Structure formats: structure tokens, C-alpha cells
Amino acid sequence: MSVLRNLEEKIAGLVEGTFGRVFRSEVRPVELARKLAKEMDEHRTVSVSRTYVPNEYVVWLSPQDRERYEGVEQSVIDELGAYLLEHARRERLALVSKPQIEFRTDDRLALGEFGIQARLIEPYGAGGSASSEAPAARPADMGHTMVYSTSARHQDALEDVGSGAGVGRRRAIVVVNGKRLLVPPQGALIGRSREADIVVDDTNVSRRHAELLPGGNGWRIQDLGSTNGVRVNGRQVDGPHPLESGDRIELGTVTVTFEVE
């Protein structure tokens, strides 16, 4: 078994064991570990002979989720740091220091949503600066926070979360099994596959069932050749079909409510 898999199981054990008795939220440590690694991969900086990655990470949690980490936060942070170190070693990525992870609270985030801000910071000690080959942290690398939902797997800039200013900034939301999930502004794949943006875990839903698409006149849904089809407000749809807030979308035997706010 790989070291990363062992670390994932150890992190998961924090939830299933002692940690599980105090942590009841959609934001699970294993999901945080995977998204942190994703942010590391997506913020690579290629230098002369190395590929550098961020060494500082801020994890933003909703007030409800942050409260559930009380008493075990540092243990989780230590395991997440070990996971990132092993990921960097395995992918042959360069770190100018050990990964520094900090948890913070953001009132704009809902339960199950979390943000990650990744930055490359050069450490300076008494003996001088870090390696001259390491790139300096750029302003563009700071302040850009990606927000994730563990259910919807959406991502959006943190400054856009909760903003309803302007028609083009209205948020699309789907309600699946009682859970309100944000739709990424660029659209979303709906299906049973874990790679979908909005995962519907039901055998009557195809792996790639349908797609939500934004447009100048609003949102629409497109069937992707699913087995059980797509119905909107009880009517079968074939090609791209416009959506309005309050529409009921049937994916096989699963009903999803579409909302705009």
C-alpha cells in the first residue's frame, strides 16, 4: 500500500475514531487533504531546474464546521501537512519549507463549504534567504481563494460567494436530497460519477447524466444521452432546455430542484 494511501487512511481514522465523536460535518479531513493537494498541483511555478509549489495554505471553514474541529484542529493540521509533504515528494515538487496550514472562519461559507488559499512564501532565517532559485511570492499568488463544496465539488472565487449583485452574478443552486449545492458559474456536470461537479449517488442516474449550462438569457439543462432521460416539470426534454428558478428536474427517478438567487 502506498504511503499516500496510508496517510489517507490515518486521516480518515481521525473521523472514524476519537475525532469522529466530535466531528459531524460534511467537511471531512480526507476531502481537505485531496483538495489541498489539488491546489498544490494547480499553483506550480517552474524555475530553472525545479518545480516549486505553495508552502502556505489557509483553509476557510464555515462557523458550524470550524466549531466541530475544536480540540482536534492541530492534530488534523499535522496530518494534512504530512500528506502534502508526501504528495510533493511523490510528484517531485519542490517546497521552500514545510507546508504551513492554518484554519480560519468565514461567515459567508455554508455548512459543507470550505475555501483554500495557497501561497508561495520564501522563508528567511538568521543565515540569509532561501534558495536563490526559488521564485518570490507574487501578488497574484496571494488572496485568491478557491471555495469547494464536498458534495457539489464546485469551485468559485471566495469574493463571489454570497454576492448577488447584478444579474450576471446571481447564483444558481440545485437542491438534491435536501442539500443545497452551488452550481459553478461556468456550468456543471450532473451524474453518478465521482468526477461530476454535482454527484447524485443513485443507480437510476447515469455516470454523466446531464449538464447545466449558463447563457446570456439564463441557465439551461442538456441531457448527455443518459439511460433514463431528463424531465423538467414533468416534461421530457431532449436538447438544451431553459430553466427558471423553482423548476423541478427529474433525472431518472431522482428529483432535483433548480433555484436562482
C-alpha cell at 225: 444521452
Cα separation, 26 vs 65, whole angstroms: 8
Cα separation, 51 vs 87, whole angstroms: 13
* Contact (CB, 8 A) for 9 and 17: no
Cα separation, 85 vs 199, whole angstroms: 29
Cβ contacts of 161 within 8 Å, gap of 6 or more:
108, 109, 113, 115, 147, 182
Give which of 190, 122, 101, 126 is closest to 152, Cα–Cα. 190
- Beta-ladder partners of 128: 125
pLDDT digits (tens, 9 = 90+) for 115-133: 888 888 866 444 444 455 5
For residue 142, give the DSSP letter: S
pLDDT digits (tens, 9 = 90+) for 65-114: 888 888 889 989 999 999 999 999 988 999 988 999 999 998 888 888 88
List per-residue pLDDT tens for the chain, 261 residues long: 455 556 556 555 544 433 333 344 467 888 888 889 988 988 888 877 889 999 999 998 889 888 888 888 998 999 999 999 999 998 899 998 899 999 999 888 888 888 888 888 866 444 444 455 555 544 334 444 555 554 433 343 333 334 333 334 467 899 988 888 888 877 888 998 877 888 888 899 998 999 998 877 789 999 998 999 999 999 999 888 999 999 999 998 899 999 987
* Contact (CB, 8 A) for 25 and 64: yes
* Contact (CB, 8 A) for 83 and 33: yes
Give which of 49, 137, 144 is closest to 97, Cα–Cα. 137
* Contact (CB, 8 A) for 252 and 229: yes
For residue 137, give the DSSP letter: P
The helix-helix angle for 3-16 and 73-91 (nearest 10°) equals 160
Cα separation, 239 vs 129, whole angstroms: 59
C-alpha cell at 141: 499568488
Burial class from Cβ neighbours inside 10 Å (0-12, 13-18, 19+) for residue 107 reads exposed
* Dihedral angle computed from the Cα positions of residues 21, 26, 27 and 30, in that order, rounded to the nearest 10 degrees: 80
Distance of CA 67 to the CA centre of its chain: 20
Q: What is the structure's pLDDT at 48?
A: 78
Q: What is the structure's pLDDT at 149?
A: 56
C-alpha cell at 105: 472562519
